[in-house]
Structure 1
Amino acid sequence: MRVDFHTHVIPSPDRLPDWKGQFGPGRWPRLESVAPDAAMLFMGETSIMKLHERFWSLDCRLQDMDRQGVDLQVISPIPMLSCYWAPPEAGQAVARFLNRHIAELVASRPDRFAGMGTVPLQDVDRAIEELRYLSGELKIRAVQIGSCPAGRDLDDPALLPFFQACIDTGTAVFVHPMQPLIGGERLQRYYLPNIVGNPLETALAMTRLIVGGVLEKLPDLRICFAHAGGAFPLVLGRVDKGYAARAEMREHISRKPSEYAKMIYVDALTFDPPSLHFVVEKHGADRVLMGTDYPFGLGEEDPIGAIEAADLPPETVRAIVEGNVWTFLGDGG
């Protein structure tokens, strides 16, 4: 079964709740229809982007999957829906709605979709409560979080109980870059927050996870980073050099960072065959998952072809396209 692990969804304009009406002013996501098959996404009063109905239409999604040769998608909320800025009670209500919505989509076509939830990490206790609801009631085995959720880096001690709860519930963690982004004002042209900012943000998040000792403390944590780890594979040699040269880099870990990198999963989204080959070399053939970022414009249109073009052994291609995802999700699929 060919699995696209990295895809996103948003409820249709008529199903997205009026969170401003429920919780008061804020940067709440909302959709305004601009055509029969499209809507404008707003965060509060700021327009973000025009979305085609494939973001919410299962019929469109299934047609695109068939065209791409994808048998199953793992669907997660578009990253802007996490609302880490919101008060904890409101944030949990948003997460609960989105998780139930995704569970409904999966239940409608369990042969074609698996789910990935979200949690209100601005309040770790509420996040753990929602995580248990995800795994227990909804039987969803993966959760998407931001690269710096609610302003906390991934090695923040406050997040350690959440990561432990992910292990305890058997939930895999998918880290997707979200605000804040490295670069600030320097990224404000040419769509650079996404094109350049996201890979840099991911590299920082992965480095903090490793050097901060999260995997040293929790080696059983199953964690995956979007966009092939962003810039991380290219800076890993420098991070190893820092470990050798700087005492503070050795404060929380007992081995060089590249050894922990082999414990981390990444998706295969590089848009460049030699880069994907390099990513497999750095993380391992068993740690890369097929992912497209569907249906965003910076997604991969031909995911299987892109992997086949990377000059990898046939067994590695099969593992990335079909096999590794089930080890990551646990229980053999």
Structure 2
Amino acid sequence: MSVLDLHSHVVPAATPFSARLRKSDARWARLEPGGEVIVSGRLFRRVRQVAWDLAERREQLTKAGVSGQLLSAMPELFALWAPPPDALEYVRAFNVWLAATVANHGGFFVGLGLVPAQEPVVAAAVLSEVAELGLAGVEIPAVPMESPQWIDFFAEAERLRLLVFVHAVGGAEIASFSDPGLANGVLFPNSIGRAIGGLIANGVLARFPRLQVLASHGGGSLVTMLPRMEYFRERSSAAQELLAESVSDYARRVWFDPLVFDAGLLQALAAVVGEDRIVLGTDYPFMERPLAFLDQVPESLAAAVRQENGARLLAGLRQ
């Protein structure tokens, strides 16, 4: 069985890919020699060599029994603050770089591109470029996406059979917390739950039944929203017209990683969406053994997550 890690990140050594962008605004994340990631002129984090050196990463992962990885940008590379023209130049450069990089590794890596999420209409237009580059889909931040301005984006992603990986974000609220790790624990589950819940509540997943969405961090707070949403759907003819099936049925159309940090929570998620909708994802290389709790869940669930579901997801993108 393949062991495919579908939630892993990369930090390009060349980011933000041009001297013009680097000089235009200090907020562009950049990687300094030695692994220092600088954002807004300050040290954001230190990363290991495997964050940018994919040859070294592949060697280490192969030794560890991993068969492949789906690569996506470090979330700080979303650059939602960037002016639209700069954002478009940046994501195009990232996508070209990623496509060329994964092509050098014999299929071990699969790539997810970026789009300028601050402009959904432009993001939709970029999807055809992503497909032409041979990337498997795109990673987007967990922002509210249920509004009509995102419809063309999801329609195009469905048409092109591209995966949409929705990644949790902390946003400006992080600044109000004393500790970044604890801020992550509070903000990430809420942001991803809000994003996926919105796609269900406004009928986006109902409208695009073949859309492939992967939610980071186990969908966060989503599983706690579903019973409340269903309570109101059952009591509203307008809601039932929008959502012909139960809200849990739409949740079962989404893929989830298992990054909930607790065996009981993962089992609760599996009970709602099914063991077959949870794929291996580790947040590599930024966390140390985040899935140790998989040893505490039923063997069937652990095996499905570790060895079965990821291959089915990637195979389905080509159908």
Q: With the length of structure 2 as denominator, give the TM-score of the two structures.
A: 0.89
**Residue of 76, 88, 95 corresponding to 2:84:** 88
Residues 47 and 325 (structure 1), Cα distance of their counterparts in 2 relative to 1, 3 Å cut: same
**Residue of 160, 165, 176 corresponding to 1:169:** 160
* Kept in 2: contact 1:18–1:30 (CA 8 A): no
More helix by share: 2
- State the alpha-carbon separation in 2 of the partners of residues 196 and 120 from structure 1: 26
- Residue 280 (1) aligns with residue 270 (2): yes
Task: Give the aligned residue type for 1:29.
Answer: A
- Residue 105 (1) aligns with residue 90 (2): no
RMSD: 2.6
**Residue of 261, 265, 281 corresponding to 2:255:** 265
Query: Please, which moves more after superposition, 211-220 or 228-237?
Result: 228-237
* Kept in 2: contact 1:10–1:56 (CA 8 A): yes
Q: Which whole-Å deviations, capped at 9, do the CAs of 1:275-295 have from their partners, x for residues lacking one?
A: 222211111122111000001
* Kept in 2: contact 1:41–1:49 (CA 8 A): yes
**Residue of 309, 312, 316 corresponding to 1:324:** 309
Residues 15 and 164 (structure 1), Cα distance of their counterparts in 2 relative to 1, 3 Å cut: closer
Aligned equivalent of 2:125: 129
Aligned equivalent of 2:141: 146
- Residue 311 (1) aligns with residue 312 (2): no
Residues 62 and 225 (structure 1), Cα distance of their counterparts in 2 relative to 1, 3 Å cut: same
Q: Between Structure 1 and Structure 2, how many residues are aligned? A: 317
Q: Which whole-Å deviations, capped at 9, do the CAs of 1:40-83 have from their partners, x for residues lacking one?
A: 22222233222222211224422441354211011111111121
What SS class does the counterpart of residue 47 from structure 2 fall into? strand
- What's the offset of the Cα at 1:322? 3.3
- Residue 196 (1) aligns with residue 183 (2): no
Identity of aligned residues (%): 27
* Kept in 1: contact 2:17–2:94 (CA 8 A): no
- State the alpha-carbon separation in 2 of the partners of residues 190 and 100 from structure 1: 32
Task: Give the aligned residue type for 1:198.
Answer: F
Unaligned runs of 5+ residues in structure 2 are none
Q: Which whole-Å deviations, capped at 9, do the CAs of 1:235-257 have from their partners, x for residues lacking one?
A: 33233234345788657323331
- What's the offset of the Cα at 1:94? 1.0
* Kept in 1: contact 2:8–2:285 (CA 8 A): yes
* Kept in 1: contact 2:112–2:137 (CA 8 A): yes
- State the alpha-carbon separation in 2 of the partners of residues 18 and 134 from structure 1: 20
- State the alpha-carbon separation in 1 of the partners of residues 22 and 15 from structure 2: 15
Q: With the length of structure 1 as denominator, give the TM-score of the two structures.
A: 0.85
- State the alpha-carbon separation in 2 of the partners of residues 146 and 177 from structure 1: 6
What SS class does the counterpart of residue 66 from structure 1 fall into? helix
* Kept in 2: contact 1:293–1:300 (CA 8 A): no
Aligned equivalent of 1:115: 111
- State the alpha-carbon separation in 2 of the partners of residues 245 and 47 from structure 1: 51
Task: Give the aligned residue type for 1:322.
Answer: Q
Task: Give the aligned residue type for 1:4.
Answer: D
- Residue 253 (1) aligns with residue 243 (2): yes
- What's the offset of the Cα at 1:30? 1.5
- State the alpha-carbon separation in 2 of the partners of residues 262 and 127 from structure 1: 26
- Residue 17 (1) aligns with residue 10 (2): no
Aligned equivalent of 2:4: 3
Unaligned runs of 5+ residues in structure 1 are none
- Residue 207 (1) aligns with residue 197 (2): yes
Task: Give the aligned residue type for 1:310.
Answer: V
What SS class does the counterpart of residue 127 from structure 1 fall into? helix
What SS class does the counterpart of residue 9 from structure 2 fall into? strand
- What's the offset of the Cα at 1:26? 5.0
- State the alpha-carbon separation in 2 of the partners of residues 70 and 123 from structure 1: 36
- What's the offset of the Cα at 1:115? 1.0
Residues 206 and 16 (structure 1), Cα distance of their counterparts in 2 relative to 1, 3 Å cut: closer
- What's the offset of the Cα at 1:125? 3.4
- Residue 237 (1) aligns with residue 227 (2): yes
4+ long deviations beyond 3 Å: 18-23, 183-190, 242-252, 305-309, 316-319
- State the alpha-carbon separation in 2 of the partners of residues 123 and 146 from structure 1: 12
* Kept in 2: contact 1:20–1:26 (CA 8 A): no
Residues 291 and 79 (structure 1), Cα distance of their counterparts in 2 relative to 1, 3 Å cut: same
Q: Which whole-Å deviations, capped at 9, do the CAs of 1:256-288 have from their partners, x for residues lacking one?
A: 311211111101222222222221111112211
- What's the offset of the Cα at 1:312? 3.9
- What's the offset of the Cα at 1:331? 4.8
Task: Give the aligned residue type for 2:28.
Answer: W
